[in-house]
Amino acid sequence: MGDRRQARELALQALFFLDIHEGDPFGGLDDFCEAHAQELPSGGEPFFRTLVEGVVAGKDRIDALVNQCSKNWRISRMPAVDRNIMRIAAFEMLEMGDIPCSVSINEAVDIGKKYGTRESGAFINGVLDRIRTQENLA
């Protein structure tokens, strides 16, 4: 598995952890990193931190987009795994121009299939594709 895929999967775990625990998200991130130091890929830590910190900082905007682009689902009612996978991919699509949207979406779908439910891949793909179209992203 590549460093970026590993960083994305660990970012999913960190965001899931932060979703469940109240309090300072950046303090929680430090706690998470300390507990999972061995799992961080050697070259992937900066990418991991960019993803998690970017999602936390842009959460309101990202969540609003996911809400707008998901049919009949509020983000608060989505499975936490799906919700956080989409947050990561949406952040990448909006803020990381060096990563093609198709790569962010494909990675999210693959991670959703691995960690989510049977329907996660298709659901994640649909929502992220609507975000890509609505925001005119390449």
> pLDDT tens digit string along 118-136?
999 999 999 999 999 999 9
Residue 1 burial by Cβ neighbours in a 10 Å radius (0-12, 13-18, 19+): exposed
Which domains, from first to last, does the chain contain? 3-134 (1.10.940.10)
> pLDDT tens digit string along 21-70?
776 666 677 777 777 777 777 777 889 989 999 999 999 999 999 999 99
DSSP for 40-72 reads S-TTTHHHHHHHHHHHHHTHHHHHHHHHHHSTT
Report how far apart the first and last C-alpha atoms of the chain are (Å, whole number).
Answer: 26
Q: What is the pLDDT of residue 71?
A: 83
> pLDDT tens digit string along 100-119?
999 999 999 999 999 999 99
Q: How far is CA 70 from the centre of its chain?
A: 15
